[in-house]
Amino acid sequence: MVRRWVTTVLPAAPAAAIDAISAFGRFAAGRGWVPARAGNFSVRVDADHALVTRSGVDKGSIDASGVAVLALDAPIPAGMSAEAPLHLARYRTDAGVGAIFHVHTVAATVLSRRDLAAGFVRTEGFEMHKTLNGIPTHEGTIEIPVFRNDQDTAGLAREIEAQLGAAPPIPGFLLAGHGLYAWGATAEDARRHVEGLEFLLACHLEERRLR
């Protein structure tokens, strides 16, 4: 009997995807959004693969050694971010997602703890609502979903995707006591959504202080 081994060959990491992750890492680090090497980023490579940051990488100085191409439906190798399952699950659920950025900001961390029981952080009447795709006006409210944190990130990813589904109204969610995930069709869109959501959360936190 001849045993045949099938080896999965991963595509090479595109230079443009590495550059996009590196650029966002510098941007986020400059704003103090990824303290102590926190956070994780990814960019879709093709329908079946994504480029994801490795564990423990300084997000302000990411290069090709700090990322790896992962198959969306294969086991995650050692050395990757513990939250890689959250990225891969989002790509599997929504084919329109091209990049995902996760940051640890003070506003996202505090408000997600405060509003976990409600299941969302609600903001109302901010012009910055219009920075999010599909929201044409400052009028009305948006609700940023909040999910419990869990060290079992594969199970957590299944739980989140079951609730979000494809193309949710807000391109982001919060993990309680942890931070913000945001995405977009491109890395530029994902960065804009991170910026917009972080601004909204910071304003909302300040309003709560003033009350």
pTM beyond 0.75: the answer is yes
Least confident of 7-16, 71-80, 113-122, 186-195: 7-16
**For residue 2, pLDDT beyond 80:** no
Mean pLDDT for the chain overall:
93
Give me the pLDDT at residue 136, please.
87
Beta-carbon count within 10 A of 95 CB: 11
**What pLDDT is stored for residue 192 in this prediction?**
97
- Mean pLDDT value across residues 186-203: 97
In this prediction, residue 139 carries a pLDDT of: 87
Residue type, 204: H
Mean pLDDT of 16-39: 96
How far apart are alpha carbons 130 and 125 in whole angstroms? 10
Return the pLDDT at 196: 97
Residue 167: CA count within 13 A, CB half-sphere = 4
Residue 206 has pLDDT above 50, yes or no: yes
Q: Is the pLDDT of residue 4 over 80?
A: no
